[in-house]
Amino acid sequence: MLWTASIVCFIAALLITPVVKRFAIAVGAVDSPDARKVHVRIMPRLGGLAIYIAFMIGYFILQPSSPYATHILVGGFVIILTGAFDDRFQLNARLKLMGQIVAAVIVLNGGIRIEFINLPFDQQLFLGWWSVPLTFLWVIGITNAVNLIDGLDGLAAGVSSIVLLTLISLAVIQGNVYVTIVAILLLMSTLGFLFHNFYPAKIFMGDTGALFLGYMLGVLSLLGFKNVTLFSLAVPVILLGIPISDTLFAIVRRVLQGKPPFAPDKAHLHHRLLDLGFTMRQAVLVIYGLCAIFGMTAILFSQTNSIGALVSLIMLLIVLDILVESLGLLGERYRPLLNLLERLTSK
């Protein structure tokens, strides 16, 4: 039954996306080119609506059981409304954030939060009231992280698909049935849309899709790693490493440059790859590869002991820093590790 519903989600997204495209053009939900964007012609947005409709069709076919289901779906609907209004009317940042806050509060009221962390030697660290702000920031942060990487044809949809595939693998290992089912349905819906969204894209997912995928990834990863061990707490962070790191580097970069933390710029990971001479298709495939590496690392990280987890985390951070310095994601002057390597190799 799961695979039947999955195929239905894929076919539904495949068939509904052209309809949504015509609807987006009819209502004026289009994206015009400007100096910060890479596309050169007016493109319909609102494509995330096709992902959402296809996902909900599969969801209601299976009706997976979870005490959190209602709150997840209601929060998702709030996110879809927020994204759809933004795709059509270009809401200001405050209104968009308000929609995300409402969704996050709904999730919190449903009981989805990290309440404690299992430490070595059978000890537990109870987070107490800290569980509320940490969960809140996680949902809001991941929602926006996926939205911020949505800058090239097929990028956000492909990255989200890779993260979902990894999340499915981890959920199967842990025996988490609800997360497995929901992630599979969302993956197939996203892949059906990606058929129309990969370069050269016929439609953009817009904030409707990027915010919804970010919200669902944030909630599902949180749901899949509630009350985890100390080292396993890093698994969802590694799993979502590319969108998280790109967002954090963007904020730090803008602060160092004296700009507002959320001011738009053209120095994201995909922009830097384009500046280095990669084509749009090549840049997207490179980021896909990086996400796959992070995903495989997350799986290995979850299955190893504390020492192995620590070593793999350090190695991943070193590789990430080399990537950041090489691409200038924190500015051209930030290259401490590369300078050190150059000094060592020159001796």
State pLDDT tens for residues 47-63.
Answer: 999 999 999 999 999 99
For the ranges 109-123, 177-191, 268-282, the lowest mean pLDDT is seen at 109-123
Average pLDDT, the chain: 84
pLDDT of residue 13: 98
Is residue 71 predicted with pLDDT exceeding 50? yes
Closest CA to 240 of 114, 145, 134, 136: 145
pLDDT of residue 265: 64
Residues 6 or more apart from 254 whose CB is under 8 A from it?
Answer: 260, 261, 262, 263, 265
Is residue 122 predicted with pLDDT exceeding 70? no
3-state secondary structure (DSSP) of residue 310: helix
3-state helix, strand, coil in the chain (%, to 5): 70, 5, 25
Q: Where are the beta strands (DSSP E) in the chain?
A: 30-31, 43-44, 116-119, 123-126
Decide: 331 and 256 in contact? Cβ < 8 Å. Answer: yes
Q: Is 207 annotated as a binding residue?
A: yes
- Beta carbons within 10 angstroms of residue 346's beta carbon: 6
The phi and psi torsions of 257 (rounded to 5 degrees) equal -90, 5
Domain ranges of the chain: 2-346
Query: Any bridge partners for residue 237, and if so which?
Result: none
Among 203-207, 263-267, 283-287, the range with the most confident prediction by mean pLDDT is 203-207
The phi and psi torsions of 112 (rounded to 5 degrees) equal -85, 105
Residue 88, CA distances (Å) to 27, 83, 97, 154 in order: 7, 9, 16, 21
What is the rounded average pLDDT of the residues 54-83? 96
What is the rounded average pLDDT of the residues 149-166? 89
What is the band of 229 on the pLDDT scale with cuts at 50, 70, 90? very low
pLDDT of residue 234: 64
pLDDT of residue 119: 54
3-state secondary structure (DSSP) of residue 264: coil
What is the band of 233 on the pLDDT scale with cuts at 50, 70, 90? low
pLDDT of residue 231: 47
DSSP per-residue codes, 270-295: HHHHHHTT--HHHHHHHHHHHHHHHH
What is the band of 66 on the pLDDT scale with cuts at 50, 70, 90? very high
